[in-house]
Structures are given as structure tokens and as C-alpha cells.
């Protein structure tokens, strides 16, 4: 069973986090949401408070098949947390999947992982990411998958399902949710 870690920082974009989490769980993927702070309650950009599965501190020693970074204003907290940088670099060095949506590809950029790659992101970080392919919904280059924002969250989630399970499983879920 594939495993996914989703770090949640205050201000995370709810649609970008939970649409992919829902789709991955429908596919049978083991998804762990982990709050960046000490407690397990994290409030998103729209004021929805999520009950994370655990804290980031509690799972730092575990390996995951995919680390997925949601966007939103919480990206500033992801970028400022050295544990997130270490996690991303460790994941990349191990040849395991990384995914980021909206402004979160900036975290991958900060880690030096986007140079020479095809990627997309939200227009709000376009000045930081000069090679952004702004019209693409979802891009996978090597073991890095990026997506534009809330409006592409379902496409992104189904793409992650296809990568971690199978294209057939993604198609079945797409049909089941009338996408």
C-alpha cells in the first residue's frame, strides 16, 4: 500500500489539501496529514480548522512514498521550517515522489529541485519561478509533480492516484465522482 505524507501549515489551502487526500484515500492509499505546529488542529486559509492525523515531529523518522505539499498562505510556514526542507531533500535523495500545488512548488525551488525541470505553479509565485509553465494543470517531471492551484486540485489528485496505484484506479475514481 503506498504511503503519503501531507504537512499542513496554518493557512493551507483546504481544497488543494483535501481534494487530493480524499481521492488518494478512495484509492486505498495510506495518507497521513501532519500538522506543522505542536498541536493537531490546523486552520486553513478559509477558516476551516482541520484535525490532522498527527504532527510533523511525530513522523519525521518515517519514510513515505510521496510527500505532498499543499499551497495557500501556509506555504510561507513550509518555506520557513527547516524540517520541511530536510524532509523534501531526504525524499528527493531517496528517489521517492514529491508533489506540490499552487505556491508550494516554491518550496521545491528553495531546495534547488526545479532547476532544469518542467513545472507549474500558481501565478502568485511566477516571479520566483521564471520557468513556470503557467497554462499547464499538472506536470510530472521525474519524481516531481506540480499543479497550479485550487481549480486543478481534482486533476492533481487523480494524477497522484494514477502515479501511486494505476491509471485504471484513477479512471474508476474519476467515473465514481462524475469528473
The whole domain housing 113 covers 3-170
The answer to whether residue 98 is domain-embedded is yes
Per-residue pLDDT, 140: 98
> What is the total count of domains within the chain?
1
Which residues, other chains included, contact 97 with Cβ-Cβ below 8 Å and sequence gap of 6+?
A: 65, 66, 67, 91, 143, 144, 145, 163, 164
The answer to whether residue 108 is domain-embedded is yes
Between CA 153 and CA 177 the distance in angstroms is 14
Task: Give the CATH number, domain containing residue 135.
Answer: 3.40.50.880
Per-residue pLDDT, 78: 98
Per-residue pLDDT, 53: 98
Which residues, other chains included, contact 14 with Cβ-Cβ below 8 Å and sequence gap of 6+?
A: 44, 45, 46, 48, 50, 72
Look up residue 86 and give its three cell numbers.
530536510
pLDDT tens sequence across 96-145: 999 999 999 999 999 999 999 999 999 999 999 989 999 999 999 999 99
The answer to whether residue 76 is domain-embedded is yes
Bridge partners of 72? 12
Which pTM value belongs to this model? Answer: 0.97
pLDDT band at residue 178 under the 50/70/90 scheme: very high
The answer to whether residue 178 is domain-embedded is no
Per-residue pLDDT, 118: 98
pLDDT band at residue 161 under the 50/70/90 scheme: very high
Between CA 6 and CA 9 the distance in angstroms is 10
User: Which residues are tagged catalytic?
Assistant: 102
- Are 16 and 149 spatial neighbours (Cβ–Cβ below 8 Å)? yes
The answer to whether residue 159 is domain-embedded is yes
Mean residue pLDDT across the chain: 97
pLDDT tens sequence across 39-71: 999 999 999 999 999 999 999 999 999 999 999
Which residues, other chains included, contact 32 with Cβ-Cβ below 8 Å and sequence gap of 6+?
A: 3, 4, 5, 6, 53, 54, 59, 64
Amino acid at each position: 500500500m503506498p504511503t503519503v505524507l501531507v504537512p499542513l501549515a496554518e493557512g493551507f489551502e483546504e481544497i488543494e489539501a483535501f481534494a487530493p487526500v480524499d481521492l488518494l484515500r478512495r484509492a486505498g492509499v495510506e495518507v497521513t496529514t501532519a500538522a506543522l505546529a505542536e498541536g493537531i488542529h490546523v486552520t486553513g486559509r478559509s477558516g476551516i480548522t482541520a484535525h490532522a492525523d498527527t504532527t510533523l515531529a511525530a513522523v519525521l523518522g518515517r519514510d513515505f512514498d510521496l510527500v505532498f505539499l499543499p499551497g495557500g498562505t501556509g506555504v510561507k510556514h513550509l518555506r520557513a521550517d527547516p524540517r520541511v526542507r530536510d524532509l523534501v531533500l531526504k525524499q528527493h535523495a531517496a528517489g521517492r515522489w514529491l508533489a506540490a500545488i499552487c505556491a508550494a512548488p516554491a518550496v521545491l525551488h528553495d531546495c534547488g529541485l526545479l532547476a532544469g525541470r518542467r513545472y507549474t505553479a500558481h501565478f502568485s509565485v511566477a516571479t520566483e519561478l521564471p520557468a513556470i509553465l503557467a497554462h499547464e494543470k499538472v506536470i510530472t517531471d521525474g519524481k516531481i509533480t506540480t499543479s497550479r492551484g485550487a481549480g486543478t486540485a481534482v486533476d492533481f489528485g487523480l494524477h497522484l492516484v494514477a502515479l501511486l496505484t494505476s491509471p485504471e484506479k484513477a479512471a474508476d475514481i474519476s467515473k465514481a465522482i462524475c469528473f
